[in-house]
């Protein structure tokens, strides 16, 4: 108790307490804000470091940020904090079986059937500056062409991250944690996509 009190007095302890309190009080806000930040920051990083652009394509970055806000933040908040717990409760899974079920469901169903196709469609529209059906379908087609390679990348990165997420991270902080881990993944995925386009 004395150690906890001393930790709370430190700056780090105060920031940690604020973050934990905020993620418990406003988990949806934390999820959507972190989704927005991850996609925005990763797109800027790719434009500057990988594409070597002198100026940021603000339209593209805004579109990717909105994808992060709505899809990676809002939708995933409900997926990870509402849907998975309901499924686990209905299936009466807990412990390591629940973690394995969530990781396999996420990598085997959610990632190939939802996240990657919508991500590719959003990225294609953002890069083209056109929010039209044909551009989105071109992105989905690109996703189909790259699906096996992308799934290998997803499995290598996300299986360990999600084992930590579903096994150790509190429910209210899962999307925030995955968003922070997502910066690395998004930069990697966007870099791979860019190299494929140049081939």
- The structure tokens listed for 110 are 């959610």
Compute how many other C-beta atoms are within 10 angstroms of the C-beta atom of residue 40.
19
- Residue 44 is predicted with a pLDDT of 92
Alpha-carbon gap, residue 66 to 81, rounded angstroms: 21
Distance CA 59, CA 161 (A): 31
pLDDT at 129: 76
CA distance 28 to 117: 24
Q: Is the pLDDT of residue 40 over 60?
A: yes
Supply the DSSP symbol for 70.
I
Lowest mean pLDDT among 5-14, 59-68, 161-170: 5-14
User: Tell me, what's the pLDDT at 159?
Assistant: 93
Is the model's pLDDT at 18 over the cut of 60? Answer: no
Identify the band that residue 141 occupies on the pLDDT scale cut at 50, 70 and 90.
Answer: very high
pTM over 0.75: no
Alpha carbons 159 and 30: distance in angstroms, whole number = 23
């Amino acid at each position: 108790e004395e150690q906890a009190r001393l930790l709370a007095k430190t700056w780090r302890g105060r920031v940690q307490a604020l973050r934990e309190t905020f993620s418990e009080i406003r988990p949806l806000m934390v999820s959507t804000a972190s989704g927005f930040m991850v996609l925005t920051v990763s797109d800027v990083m790719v434009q500057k470091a990988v594409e070597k652009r002198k100026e940021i394509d603000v339209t593209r970055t805004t579109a990717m940020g909105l994808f992060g806000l709505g899809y990676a933040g809002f939708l995933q908040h409900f997926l990870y904090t509402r849907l998975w717990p309901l499924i686990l409760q209905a299936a009466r899974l807990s412990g390591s079986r629940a973690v394995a079920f969530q990781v396999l469901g996420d990598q085997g169903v959610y990632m190939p059937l939802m996240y990657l196709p919508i991500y590719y469609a959003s990225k294609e529209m953002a890069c083209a500056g056109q929010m039209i059906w044909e551009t989105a379908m071109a992105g989905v087609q690109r996703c189909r062409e790259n699906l096996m390679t992308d799934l290998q990348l997803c499995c290598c990165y996300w299986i360990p991250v999600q084992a930590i997420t579903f096994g150790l991270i509190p429910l209210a902080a899962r999307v925030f944690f995955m968003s922070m881990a997502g910066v690395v993944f998004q930069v990697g995925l966007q870099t791979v996509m860019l190299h494929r386009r140049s081939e």
